[in-house]
Structure 1
Amino acid sequence: MNEHLSLSTAVVLVPRRPGLKDGTDNVVEVLVRIQAPAAPAGLGAERPPQALSLVIDRSGSMAGRPLEEARRCAEYVIGKLRPTDAVSLVQFDNRVQRLWPAVTLGDGAPLRAAIAGIHSGGNTHLHGGWREGADTLSDVAGQGLKRVILLSDGQANEGLTELTAIAAQCAEWAAKGITTSTYGLGNHFNEELMVAMARAGGGNHYYGDTAEDLMEPFQQELELLGNLCLRGLRIHATAPDGVQVQMVNELPGVEGGWRLPDLAWGAEAWAVLRLNVPVVALPATGGLLSVLRVTVQGQSLEGEPVQLERSSLALPVLAPSAWDGLTDDELVTRRLVELAAAEALTRMRAAAGRHDWAAVDRLLEVASRQFAGNEWVAAMLQAMKGIAEGRSRERMMKEAMYSSGKLRSRLVARDEELQFSAAAESLSVPAYLRRKPSQGKGDV
């Protein structure tokens, strides 16, 4: 299977324009597309066992509907796993309790009973709960997928609470093969902490605006885990001396490169690299310059290393008139628009954080005109306008952060339509590939 993945997973480099302009410095934007093959027959039977730890906040603010929905989501996870998968259960308020060790699921009845027994309590020892979940998975043998799924609606106010220190621990555990996905609920959780934990921990970050919006993020994660083909995906780029390389997506850095999302069968991970090519590096007009070489590495579901074939890009040096006649690649342009929209949302979030609603409104108006040609981004901005009109600082900051994160780092369908329809995608596209107008609202 690993050899099959190495040979059948394509690494494609697409420049915005297929040439370099003679006589001047060049900025070259390159879309890197890592394309997984279609799922092989019998995929479900071949998937190796997975190990998950469900870590659930039961602090006082979770009382009532939020905790009820959290229990329902946990039961959904159990229902989607196989009897041979391992699952642990941890609850936390100001105390951390391991309710169930990481053992094979079987029929799941004892674990469901433990989930049903979770009731609300006191404060939020978030770090302690997450750490206990990671500890439970360290007892699971093998190198298969191991992931902590952390759900909280509040601020870390017990034990270790400092973002940088917690994120560093998430990165340490990810390096040992135990990754972290986070789920925020409502308007009062610390989105910066939850996003940082998932980014450092090699998982995904989601949130639900209300308890009713919580189920869909769990469906996204479970569908993704059930269709993974490569995890721990890392991209490394090299360029000639004097050529500078920038990662436009702001993906998490790893040694010598950047980390991409885990890759599902039939899907595509992507990134945009921006190269600054000085005029002194250009050969004569008509000559070719090798501007970029990309290597991509990852792990199979069994934890074995997978090295994809290297991909290189060489571009011809063209006379200015010939270069001016080139057209921009449509898909590269579209990805750059999405990344520019992510930057605009980040600026809106900062303005909302200052309670500067005049600046938020102004930025929304400018962005709505600038990105009107991208239907998905336009739908996102329309959702943001609705939140801004309510002058809810916390909702605005959360939606802006999660939406900008989705624009910068997501899997796409290899045949993703340029036109966008939320209704059509909810019916025909897997949950983990959908383009949602609002990240905090469920559509199921």
Structure 2
Amino acid sequence: MMSNFVDRPADDLSGEMLRTFSIAALGGMLEFYDFVVFVFLTAVLGRVFFPPEIPDWLKQTEVFGLFAAGYLARPFGGLVMAHFGDLTGRKRVFMIAVLLMAVPTFLIGLMPGYAQIGYAAPCLLLVCRVLQGAAIGGEIPGAWVFVAEHAPRSRIGLACGLLTAGLTAGILLGSLVNTAINLVFSPEAILKYAWRLPFLLGGILGLIGMLLRRKLAETPVFKAMRQEAQLADNLPVGRVVRGYARAVLVSMAASWLLTAVIVVLILLAPPLLRQSVGLDADRVAVAGLASTAALTISCIASGAAIDRFGLKAIVWFAAFVITAAAYLMFACAMLPGLLAPVFAVAGAAAGLITIVPVILVRAFPPAVAFSGVALAYNVAYALAGGLTPPLVAYLIHLSPLAPAHYVAAICTISLAAILPWLGARTKRTDRTAPGRDGA
């Protein structure tokens, strides 16, 4: 079976490749910003799009329900885009994903609220959120496959690390924009009109990202498959389910690890500690920024480490370090003076989840790579992403270390699934040649 990489020098990393990785990462950052900026504005969105007579807690619950709808739409959107990505090309779908995210984001910024159109307002917001979810479901798997198929054999880790860093930078950008809005505008001005600015900005940035991606070339692997008539049949996902079931399960276990780390250590830790321990909101916000910045840098370093030391070694290292960092984060919550440094350490540890995209792009052969990655990643993320927040929020009331226990358990389960699979592959294929089988 054809390798995920066309023949070229193993250490070849040209300026053109770095440009490709950079543009892909920048587009990923802008698109992920569009997806997450919603969560930074839940309070004001609840007041704009829902009846004024219902309690604030219910408004926020309903807005979070709309946010969750984006997760539920991810598997459908991901599989549809992956289907065409495997049959017609990665680049075309890569561009469509950005457009599908930019348009509804911009429309949210223009949308009338409940005071103008009544219950049609939250319904339209739901439609836009579903479109955003469908877009991100195709963007992330497609981006990982795209950069991996452009990378030389010895740089797959760095390629995935740069792309993942771009995605996490989208979280950082969303947080910075939200902070700027709150500093520049009064609460009254935000409620009246300024809440629209992050969405309008996101729509514009998304369109810029699409224009940048027009300059990218189709992947060498897809070009070779098309030339040699090795493309998948009419239903690539069917071939994935029939022939690569173990790869799907291992990839889902890895994706669950990514979900646990990002959701618990990056997204949930600040509000959980603020509510359960009573930490100062400004101090927690600064710590959250430190965590996300460290995460972004660490993704790149982790990708380079995978190339240098091998995937199996970094998987072992990641499980240990992520577990230790989770316990450090929640054990030190009562020490406000250490909050930002501890959050930065946890963010740096979280960057080791770069092992996940490397595992995913190595799990499936090129003809069905997009469909395989999209199926495993999006189904796992939809299930775990929906269940993790309420579960962890409940458990922390039983024990302040409960979130760390959860992360440790997922690390153990994922390790048990990933390591035997890696061992089986090592016996049959060279460690650095991804995608030769679905074991």
Normalising by the residue count of structure 2, what TM-score does the alignment of the two structures yield?
0.27
| More helix as a share of residues | 2
| More strand as a share of residues | 1
Max radius of gyration: which structure? 1
